[in-house]
Structure 1
Amino acid sequence: MDYMKQERERGITITSAAITFGWKNHRINLIDTPGHVDFTIEVERSIRVLDGAVTILDGVSGVEAQTQTVWAQADKYGIPRIAYVNKMDRIGAGFGRTVKEMHHKLGTRPLVCQLPIMKKDSKGNGLFFGVVDLLDMQVLDWNKDPNGSIINKIPLTEKYPISELFEEAIKGRSSLIEALSEIDDQLLEIFLMNEDPMKVSVEEIKEALRRVTLNGKAVPVFCGASFKNVGVQPLMDAVIDYLPSPLDRPAPLATLSDKNLIEIPLKEKEKLCALAFKVIHDHKRGPMIFVRVYSGKIDNRMTLFNTNTRKKERVNKLLQMYANDVEEIPSITAGNIGVILGLKETRTGDTLIQINDSRQNLKLQSIDIPSPVFFYAVEPTSVSDEKPLEEALKNILREDPSLHVHVDSDSGQTLISGMGELHLEIIKDRLLTEFKVNAEMGKMRISYRETIIVEQLEHTFLYDRELMGKKQKAQVSLIITPLSENDKGIPEEGGNRIVIDIEDKIVNLNSDQQNETNDQNSLITKLDKEEIRDSLHSGILSALYRGPILGFPITGLHIKVHSLKLFGLESTKTAISACVSQAFSEAMKNGVPVLLEPLMDVQVEVPEEHLGNVLADLTGTRRGNILGLETSGQSIDYDHSIEIYTPPDPTYISSDENQGAIIKRIIKAHVPLSTLLGYSSSLRSLTGGTGSFSMRIHSFGIMSEDRAKSVINEMQGGY
């Protein structure tokens, strides 16, 4: 499913890809998402539309730092999950160790449903060749088929060649039923009636596993080696058995214009409601809009209405995706995922309904888009390359909402902002190879922020200009205060809070404030309150986009518009917007503007022997603040009273579950992003390739004077 050239070159998933297939009379819509932190938007928008998830863990690495980030994203949307421990055929794989880490690091309750089977080779190493199904006590052996398509099923008895296997399976099945009985009342009754865990039927266990998975109380765990297709078929069965169908999920909520929440029932005969969750640009087909249909159905040639852009769009074709291959289909029905061709204006997060639907303000919950933290300048190599570059950026921007493009008003350069170094490297590569743009790329930079550090600023501004022969006039008063620590980190308005409190404070005056005649100028403005509020809001947003020091976005402010004077028909939407924008910019000059730098929440996992070098590096040149040290497998809050069953590693060859495991330490720190450029390479060299790290933005911190001067000199020296 990793079909992009860049994905195959780097061996990683960059963009989420969709595929639809059948399994045992069920239809499955699968989306493969990336694991790298730079492409977190791909995970966010996929999880937003999915009903269940399979979390794939590396049997050697266990629960990695980025797994915790993705797990938290799934928690946010309440997505039921099952877990699959992959790469069990590799040396050093530890199934029991990984299960234990799931409990400790993810704070979840893992339920072991399979045991890996190991055999010793001539050198005494354990070779993985199959699994024990703890529900029906069968050995599933793929040993006779190198492609993994044939499963040999053998009932597990005391006579099985690996003597310890039967005893461990009995222990595993008993532990599974006891754990289920603790969290599922229905199975508890069955368990108390039978007393013997081995008498509880397979169907009764499956039903209990489904119930606890759907309500998020536990996570069934399976294992395998996907490269050899070992363990894949039972995992697919588990998807059907334990993960929800669209009918098992709560009905999604949508808002109407009156802010009322309504449920969208999953019925094909209901009115259409669909969410566009991904856009990709195809050079032959044009924009391809991925949609999840929540109710009704989308038919070929149907006319749709986009409630976000307020525009109607016509469906040209409907497609079913198989990664980068397609199949044309007549309709996309409720509960399914598909692709629409022909939509010109639709973007990620837009809600689509039928053109004749009266609910034209209906909006599904949108998708959270994180703020970009890196940027670089891009310039066409010649005048003739300007249009192709503009077109390519427009297409890439539609595809990736976590990417920002804007033109610097001082230098005239086009700046591209993204989530990380790798993110922007991929964009740069795509512009040059896929879109064939002739352009020069500047050095990668940090996207800083600006704010002010005064207690309160109050400013009144009169806007009085003539534009295109028409007079434009308005007067606004506003108060600016820094946000308190408790209010910071607000995602809307770029980390600012905008309050427009003018309900009873709009004064309507004629042009000279004296003339009381009823001429055309003295007429009260025709704008309604909603239009006035929108104009004020957009004016402030445009001013917030560019700070007074280096033109970086402004953050961390509480802006309150508390008074507005209108001057008849001269107070147009443009006049109001320009007035509040200039009022804000002037007020900012009276404050004490400062530069802010992104502080990252960094988690570094390193072997004990390299701990000292990594700590010295973080606290030295990287100006990091160490928050804590933990031993891998002993992090985050979890319930110590819950006993988790974990089979020994390597299974049935040695009872020492720590054999082959390297004790790792986890460093948690806040580090300025500017010092983390190229950190992955540095960490590799410091730890001999054994260290790993993840980071996400924590906050924006005020720069020291010396650091701010250095940044200003660097930035003003040109991009």
Structure 2
Amino acid sequence: MKRVFQNVRSVYINHTLLKFKSQTIINQRFYTTTIKEYSISKTRNIGIIAHIDGGKTTTTERMLHYAGFTRRIGDVDHGDTITDYMKQERERGISITSAAITFGWKNHRINLIDTPGHVDFTIEVERSIRVLDGAITILDGVSGVEAQTQTVWDQADKYGIPRIAYVNKMDRIGAGFGRTVKEMRYKLGTRPLVCQLPIMKKDSIGNNLFFGIVDLLDMQVLDWNNNPNGSIINKTILTEQYPISGLFEEAVKGRSHLVETLSEIDDQLLEIFLANEDPMKVPVDDIREALRRVTLSGKAVPVFCGASYKNIGVQPLMDAVVDFLPSPLDRSPPLATLSDKIIEIPLKEKEKLCAFAFKVIHDHKRGPMIFVRVYSGKIDNRMTLFNTSSRKRERVNKLLQMYANDVEEIPSISAGNIGVIVGLKETRTGDTLIQINDSRQDLKLQSIDIPSPVFFYSVEPTSISDEKPLEDALKNMLREDPSLHVHVDSDSGQTLISGMGELHLEIIKDRLLTEFKVNAEMGKMRISYRETITVEQLEHTCLYDRELMGKKQKAQISLMITPLSENDKGISEEGGNRIEIIIDDLNSEQQNETDNQNSLTKLDKIEIRDALHSGILSALYRGPILGFPITGLYIKVHSPKLFGLESTKTAISACASQALGEAMKNGAPALLEPLMDVEVEVPEEHLGDVLADLTGTRRGNILGLETSGQLIDYDHSIEIYAPPDSTYISSNEKQKVIEPKRIIKAHVPLSTLLGYSSSLRSLTGGTGSFNMRIHSFGIMSEDRAKSVITEIQGGY
């Protein structure tokens, strides 16, 4: 049954006319089945992205309340939010998985995804951004542009996602709107367009308090102080007589800058501006349309402000989503490969079906639930699909519209929409789905980049009866989380789980024990190292000749192996390696012999190539020193020799695997350790202690020092408007941040960063912060390698 909630949405009070009019809005869920009522042009597929603790979930809760979806506002601290529904999320007060929810606002349907901010769960941001049309970037008004903000901004840049920015927490002491706007320019490289001004009032002891917002488009003051839930907005025309000194003049300056900047980058508004001559006379609707055009083109980013926890500024942000972020029709058609050609997928419901699976979750009652974005055509209930990645038929059992962890069954998912399919057994993140009778069975949409795991631990069932539950639980979690890796060590027989970070694996461990109720023992968390060779070039030929189950298996291949250069590593594949397979050098006599003798097995060149590729991949997963994955190699497979019926696909694959294993042992193998890009932000007085710790104990290589808030070198011909705030002092028209922090950039081995968060707090009295992500794998020193080998061979 559809839920219908009554809620006061936005009540505007015009003090100049002294009139008050309340309106009760009836809101309901906006289902995918209502696509004809709410067309694609009125659909917004958006995400909320930010640094951890930026206020993403808090803002989402307010959106749901003001849209009439919830009766009360959830609180992250109380663990009762809609989108943070996992037990681990509510206990820790952070988002771990991306949550999708659909609601209506101003006759538009908004499909919103709330993403995590912690670096360990960056895959959740990556796969969400992959299918979104637009995004809200939330910035902490006190901390400004933080390290993970830059990471998620770069992810959005990669997919060309139009964005609007929302400076949150303007109610906090030390919040600086103007400073944050400037940081957007020089840290994110974007062109911010200030659309609102925060109104600050001094209290009885002189502190600046966040009172409300000036809308520069309408030149009106918005405040929420008459309603504790923020449902009622008081709206007043801003005039020179407004009681806060200088506010009107600053608003005029801000609106003038906004119109002039838009006129520089939008030709249509330029004509209107020249016709009016005065920026204050340019109509609001024309400014709004120009803002939408420059946002969709990625030329600029509208900036808004508020304090979501205090219920200030959220409704105008929702209006901005509708006004400035794209519908699916405003986005360029997605690209796909078809028969080695790049084609566009048109957004039409009557076209052939093309959908992208971007997320999988396991529900204990419903089984695997596949989140899909439909780019063309329509998915109907009970439809039979074809997975072009796994080459499997899939049957749709149910179609669902998600409301975080609540669902509603629907009959179809139309082009431009996001929904969930129940019943698909083989589909994983990054797979492309088409109809079973579609001839384009090699059609593939652009997939998702999966980062390499850097930590691992062992897991063992406590008894034989627990083996199957553990296996099933790991299978489900692997399907949910593509950044998680599981493999069995062939020497010890232990199951090893690899992940992105300490928190990532901590969550996995907790879910295994509490959610999946597996009885298992967990080993110590360790670094996931890599292995490679150090010789410049290695040639090796291998003859595989064995008898398996009474049948002769025989094949021969040759390999040439060289380490990849630093430039080549950027374009490597297969776990950081490049594999080239040449089978055209089968001489004609041998090929004829193979064709005659293999008449029963009918091995063609594609099957031979696939068998060789499979064997190489198998061998790459386990190096000769400690069994870590092999990386950084160019492997050329050539001169295969086949022996008739004895050269089965199994023999060819085993020969390739054995060849690489033997070659690695002769290539002076070496251990590699993960090197992290680290940014540490500390006050000036603690800089020396932190630098000494990084270069000494942690074996780091310092790349450079910066000052937080420092105006670094960028295109000074592009002027931006940033209003003054209390975190600035002015001198000769150049603004500098009071008490700036220093930012240390370094490459540091991951093994030395275990527990670094606690150490940094101790060194800086709790004032330091850091962010890290993997940069590369570097060769260990001989002493370090011996230490690691001794430690690991001593047992997991």
TM-score by length of 2: 0.87
Distance in 1, matches of 2:555 and 2:666, equals 21
Aligned to 1:681: 758
Aligned to 2:446: 365
Distance in 1, matches of 2:299 and 2:211, equals 31
Residues 99-127 of structure 1, C-alpha deviation per residue, up to 9 Å, x if partnerless? 01111111111000000011111111111
Aligned to 2:17: none
Aligned to 1:215: 297
Q: Say if 2:456 and 2:498, in contact at 8 Å, map to a contact too.
A: yes
Cα pair distance change 1:635/1:545, threshold 3 Å: farther
Distance in 1, matches of 2:114 and 2:583, equals 48
Residues 694-715 of structure 1, C-alpha deviation per residue, up to 9 Å, x if partnerless? 1111111110000000000000
Mapped pair 1:580 → 2:656:
yes
Structure 1 residue 504: deviation in Å? 3.5
Structure 1 residue 616: deviation in Å? 1.0
**What residue ranges of structure 1 are gaps of 5+ in the alignment?**
none
The percent of aligned pairs where both chains have the same amino acid is 87
Mapped pair 1:543 → 2:619:
yes
Amino acid at match of 1:398: R
User: In the alignment, which of 719, 722, 729 is matched to residue 643 of structure 1?
Assistant: 719
Aligned to 2:242: 160
User: In the alignment, which of 250, 262, 266 is matched to residue 180 of structure 1?
Assistant: 262
Cα pair distance change 1:416/1:689, threshold 3 Å: same
Q: Say if 2:139 and 2:168, in contact at 8 Å, map to a contact too.
A: yes
Structure 1 residue 175: deviation in Å? 0.8
Matches within 5 A, 1:195-234: 195-234=277-316
Aligned to 1:696: 773
Secondary structure (helix, strand or coil) at the match of 1:327 reads: strand
User: In the alignment, which of 487, 508, 528 is matched to residue 406 of structure 1?
Assistant: 487
Distance in 1, matches of 2:699 and 2:595, equals 66
Matches within 5 A, 1:18-417: 18-256=100-338, 258-417=339-498
Distance in 2, matches of 1:43 and 1:701, equals 27
Cα pair distance change 1:635/1:584, threshold 3 Å: farther
Structure 1 residue 660: deviation in Å? 8.8
Amino acid at match of 1:112: V
Secondary structure (helix, strand or coil) at the match of 1:104 reads: helix
Distance in 2, matches of 1:519 and 1:167, equals 86
Distance in 2, matches of 1:337 and 1:536, equals 39
Mapped pair 1:622 → 2:704:
no
Aligned to 1:568: 644
Aligned to 2:29: none
Q: Say if 2:362 and 2:368, in contact at 8 Å, map to a contact too.
A: yes
Distance in 2, matches of 1:96 and 1:455, equals 54
Residues 479-513 of structure 1, C-alpha deviation per residue, up to 9 Å, x if partnerless? 11111121124452111110112224356649xx9
Cα pair distance change 1:652/1:153, threshold 3 Å: farther
Aligned to 1:715: 792
Matches within 5 A, 1:435-584: 435-490=516-571, 492-505=573-586, 509=590, 521=597, 526-584=602-660
Amino acid at match of 2:455: F
Distance in 1, matches of 2:751 and 2:91, equals 28
Residues 319-376 of structure 1, C-alpha deviation per residue, up to 9 Å, x if partnerless? 1111111111111111010111111111100111111111111111111100000000
Residues 593-613 of structure 1, C-alpha deviation per residue, up to 9 Å, x if partnerless? 010111111111112121111
Secondary structure (helix, strand or coil) at the match of 1:298 reads: strand
Distance in 1, matches of 2:760 and 2:192, equals 32
Q: Say if 1:496 and 1:558, in contact at 8 Å, map to a contact too.
A: yes
Q: Say if 1:536 and 1:576, in contact at 8 Å, map to a contact too.
A: yes
Aligned to 1:666: 743
Amino acid at match of 2:574: E
Distance in 1, matches of 2:461 and 2:738, equals 52
User: In the alignment, which of 685, 709, 729 is matched to residue 609 of structure 1?
Assistant: 685
Secondary structure (helix, strand or coil) at the match of 2:448 reads: coil
4+ runs of 1 displaced by more than 6 Å? Answer: 651-660
Q: Which of the pair has the greater relative contact order for Cα pairs under 8 Å at 6+ separation?
A: 1
Structure 1 residue 461: deviation in Å? 1.1
Secondary structure (helix, strand or coil) at the match of 1:493 reads: coil
Q: Say if 1:126 and 1:653, in contact at 8 Å, map to a contact too.
A: no
Structure 1 residue 426: deviation in Å? 0.5
Residues 438-458 of structure 1, C-alpha deviation per residue, up to 9 Å, x if partnerless? 111111100001111111111
Q: Say if 2:676 and 2:748, in contact at 8 Å, map to a contact too.
A: yes
Cα pair distance change 1:508/1:685, threshold 3 Å: farther
Distance in 1, matches of 2:353 and 2:237, equals 50
Q: Report the aligned-residue RMSD.
A: 2.0
Residues 225-265 of structure 1, C-alpha deviation per residue, up to 9 Å, x if partnerless? 11122111100110111111000000001111x21111111
Q: Say if 1:451 and 1:595, in contact at 8 Å, map to a contact too.
A: yes
TM-score by length of 1: 0.96
